[in-house]
Amino acid sequence: MEFEHKVYELNYSKIKTYKECPLLYKYKYVEGKREGLVPASSLGVSIHRTLEEYHKYSNDPSEILNYFNNCWLGAGYTSAGEQMEYYLKGKKMLEAYAEKEYERKTSVDSTEREFIFEHGIWTIRGKIDRTDLWPDGSWEVIDYKTGSELDENFDVTQSLQMGIYSVGARRAWNMKKGKASIYNVALGIVYSADFDLFNEDEILKTFVETGKKIEASFFPANTNHCQHCLFNNRCPSSSVKEAA
């Protein structure tokens, strides 16, 4: 497929997918193939929906589980037992989240807010789960995670996602003072770094260099991630197709 010469639009999901496997990028963003839901991703959707609705309409932490029940997504599970197992995982996460809500010192300014800015010929977009305002007038942009893969020593300044969110907040929303945070809902841990600690030049360079490869329709397979790829039983380049 040939890309038209125009202002190209990039976001973190596209960059992440391409860096993981350019062929996966082609399947998802050029051919429009869908990955489908599995239990972990389905729970993630339910948690994200719950927190979006809760912060948009309520200030009462005791109501979080009501929102969870209303926002629960039953797709992606192989049995009622498996669905109940993940429902209880989510319930436990949100109960712990609710306890921390009683101590929160910020005001929630927005949920699922989109930023957009131009960088050369590139249009860069992003949607941030939550944006908070602190009493001192500083900002915090927050992304929720529902997996437990991050440990206590995680360095958020190495996160390309939070890096581009910090750049977007400053460029699109003029938020000069603030921090970017990953809220690991599964572990109840928040990883934060001030906007100034992210290397804006390197972040944008990564986006542009990756965007140029996409523009050139360069989509080789990277088989290092086949084991966890949801296309691994459909992709002719898969290294684990027979075992999938």
Query: What gap in Å lies between CA 68 and CA 207, rounded to an integer?
Result: 35
Query: Which residue type does 176 have?
Result: K
pLDDT confidence bin for 3, thresholds 50/70/90: very low
State pTM to two decimals. Answer: 0.91
Same domain, 172 and 125: yes
Strands (E), 120-177: 122-133, 139-145
What is the CATH number for 133? 3.90.320.10
Q: Which domain holds residue 157?
A: 107-198
202: number of Cβ within 10 Å: 11
Q: Where does a domain end: 81, 104, 127?
A: 104
Q: Decide if 118 is inside a domain.
A: yes
Same domain, 91 and 115: no
Q: Decide if 233 is inside a domain.
A: no
Least confident of 16-20, 116-120, 131-135, 236-240: 236-240
Predicted confidence at residue 1, as pLDDT, reads 43
Same domain, 140 and 172: yes
Please write the tens of the pLDDT for every residue from 186-201: 999 999 999 999 999 9
Residue of 142, 117, 120 lying closest to 131 (CA atoms):
142
Predicted confidence at residue 237, as pLDDT, reads 86
Q: Does residue 243 register a pLDDT over 70?
A: no
Query: What gap in Å lies between CA 9 and CA 129, rounded to an integer?
Result: 20
Same domain, 86 and 146: no
